[in-house]
Each structure stands twice: as structure tokens, then as C-alpha cells.
Amino acid sequence: MLLLFQLEGCPYCQKVKNALKSMKLECTYLPCELNGKIHPMLEKLGGEDQVPFLVDTDTGKMMYESDDIVEYLEKNYGKK
């Protein structure tokens, strides 16, 4: 399962969302803010209050940086 902590209007988050959509990957999108505060799971899992943040529960991979996330998705879930 893919989880993406993201912020609406963030161009880096949108880049990852576009990649997920083009690869037709299912993903659960989690807002990085809840009630004006940083999502507690984001800080607990990643240690930073930065988005986008991807969690791949199937592999245990957790990562920041949109370019790195897109590269990871293409390598692991791209054309097969």
C-alpha cells in the first residue's frame, strides 16, 4: 500500500500525484495538516514536517523529495 503525505496546492506533491496517476497506482493521500497542526504520523514516521512524504508499506520504504519518489515509483511500479 502506498501512502502519500501531501499538502493541497504544493507543486512537489502534485508532481508525485501526477506520477501515481499516470502509472495507475492506488495510493492513500493523507493531508500533512490536521486542524492546522502537522499530522502526527508524518513527524513520527519521517522525523520532518516536509512534504511530499511517501510510505510504501509493502517494502517499508519511506522517503521525501518529489524527484526521488517519482524515480522510486518508476523503478518499482513502472512498466512491467
What DSSP element (H or E) covers 56? strand 53-56
Question: Is residue 43 within 8 Å of residue 49, measured between CB atoms?
Answer: yes
Q: Read off the pLDDT of residues 6-26 as tens digits, 9 standing for 90 and up.
A: 998 899 999 999 999 999 999
Question: Given this model, what pLDDT does residue 15 score?
Answer: 97
In three-state secondary structure terms, 31 is: strand
Q: Read off the pLDDT of residues 23-65 as tens digits, 9 standing for 90 and up.
A: 999 999 998 876 667 778 888 898 888 899 999 999 999 999 9
Rounded to 5°, the CA angle 32-36-42 comes to: 25
How does strand 53-56 pair with strand 61-64?
antiparallel
Question: Given this model, what pLDDT does residue 48 score?
Answer: 84
